Amino acid sequence: MPGAREVKEAYESGWIEVVAPDNRSVVRLLERELHDGEAETIALAIERQHEIVFLDELEARRVVDVYGLRKTGVIGVLIRAKLEGKVRSLRDEMDRLRGKAGFWIGDDLYRHALNAVAES
């Protein structure tokens, strides 16, 4: 799986920490509409009053809006990386996601992202 080695190394180095939300009632409520990981992510963001939540699934993003949380996803992170000079080509990165990782990116979002970084 792409990135698995990097995530494992980040976890082992202490850069990534695995944390479970305390409020299981909120998690169970959210799990009625979302997958377990998304429900726990949102519950933890609510508990800890996180500044931003990283989610890509549309339904999870809608739920985050209900709670007034800010959100971004993989494309948002890539746009920022491009603007900060950390990736050379947003198009190449999105094409890699589509082709190698099987990540779905709608054509409108694809064009909008490229326009945002003047790569259209």
- The Cα–Cα gap between 21 and 116 comes to 35
C-alpha 97, offset from chain centre: 13
pLDDT along the chain (120 residues), means of 10: 82 91 96 95 94 92 94 94 95 94 92 94
Domain boundaries, the chain: 4-71, 74-116
Whole-Å CA distances, 80 to 8, 29, 66: 24, 33, 25
What was the pLDDT predicted at 7?
A: 85
Cβ–Cβ under 8 Å, residues 55 and 41: yes
What was the pLDDT predicted at 97?
A: 93
What was the pLDDT predicted at 3?
A: 76
Task: Report the predicted TM-score, pTM, of the whole model to 2 decimal places.
Answer: 0.78
What was the pLDDT predicted at 102?
A: 87
- The Cα–Cα gap between 21 and 27 comes to 8
